[in-house]
Amino acid sequence: MTTATTTQPPASASVEPARPPYKVTGGRVLRSEWAKLWTLRSTWITLGLGLLFLVAFGLIASARYKSAITSGDHMDADFARSTSVSLSLFGTNFAQLALGVLGVLVTAGEYSTGMIRSTLAAVPRRLPVLWSKAAVFGVVALVISTVGAFVTFLFGSGIVSGTPAAMTISHAGVVRALFGAGLYLGLVGVIGTALGALLRSVAGGISVLVATLMLIPGLVSLLPNAWADHISPYLPAAAGQSMFAVYRDAHTLSPTAGLLVFLIWTALALAGAAWRLVRTDA
């Protein structure tokens, strides 16, 4: 007696659809850097300080000029020649430090915490990380600075109304100067981002930034006038300031030339950061 054994065919296993491979795109890297920027408390604090410096010091300078005019107090020659634009943009020198420092923190901060390893693991080509960080923060600094410059001028021009410094928004060169101030501060933020990626140190990046924008111009001013007049206009700070000057002095660059020189400095900083990012490990 034989028994036949029947075997049931194995049930076909359910096949899950394969997930599409993750693709790193420029848009995704930009969104990632945008999200990281706004999740940091330092971003809100430092941007707020930059805007506060720009507006507060501009209004204080305008009020001080108005007070000196009405009371007949003595003013030095440079302050006496001020315009409502130069008074309103007086805080640019202070705002550039806040925005430049935040730019350094955007990149060097990831190196100090070690988060840069996760970032570069997600974006193996590396360079899109640098371009995205610089673009995101540069645009944010540009927008905030431009809004601050226009707001300060609108209030500052009202303060100095009726004085020799009075100017309106319709005066030639005013709109160009206000946009130039916003562009200058936006590019300062990009330079800070590049210095942070190049030096990979918050302290080092801030030190180089302060030296470039403030210390080196002071040292150059100690040189003989024949040398200083040929060197100073091409320094980053002087070239940037010519971008938002309504009237051009004898030894300063035109707004267009100043923009080109400052763009060259920005490109050099980004090129150095890109070279180190590609050639050395995180």
The CA radius of gyration of the chain, in Å to the nearest whole number, is: 26
Q: How far apart are CA 225 and CA 205, in angstroms?
A: 31
pLDDT on residue 47: 95
Q: pTM value?
A: 0.88
Listed residue (243, 233, 248) closest to 188, CA to CA:
243
Q: pLDDT in tens for each of the 282 residues of the chain?
A: 445 555 555 555 455 555 555 677 878 888 989 999 999 888 999 999 999 999 999 999 999 999 888 887 777 877 778 899 999 999 999 999 999 999 999 999 998 888 888 888 888 888 999 999 999 999 999 999 999 999 999 999 999 998 888 899 999 899 999 999 999 999 999 999 999 999 999 999 999 999 999 999 989 988 888 888 889 999 999 999 999 998 888 788 999 999 999 999 999 999 999 999 998 876
Rounded distance, CA 76 to CA 55, Å? 23
Q: Where are the domains of the chain?
A: 26-279
Q: What is the pLDDT of residue 1?
A: 43
The confidence score (pLDDT) of residue 22 equals 60
DSSP labels, the chain: ---PPP-PPPPPPPPPPPPPPP---HHHHHHHHHHHHHH-HHHHHHHHHHHHHHHHHHHHHHHHHHHHHHHT----HHHHT--HHHHHTTTHHHHHHHHHHHHHHHHHHHHHHTHHHHHHHHSTT-HHHHHHHHHHHHHHHHHHHHHHHHHHHHHHHHHTTTSTT---TTSTTHHHHHHHHHHHHHHHHHHHHHHHHHH--HHHHHHHHHIIIIIHHHHHTTS-HHHHHHHGGGSHHHHHHGGG-SS--TTS--HHHHHHHHHHHHHHHHHHHHHHHHHS--
Q: Do residues 165 and 201 touch, judged by C-beta distance below 8 A?
A: no
- Give the type of residue at 279: R
Using a 10 angstrom Cβ sphere, with 0-12 exposed, 13-18 middle and 19 or more buried, the burial of residue 105 is buried
pLDDT recorded at residue 6: 52
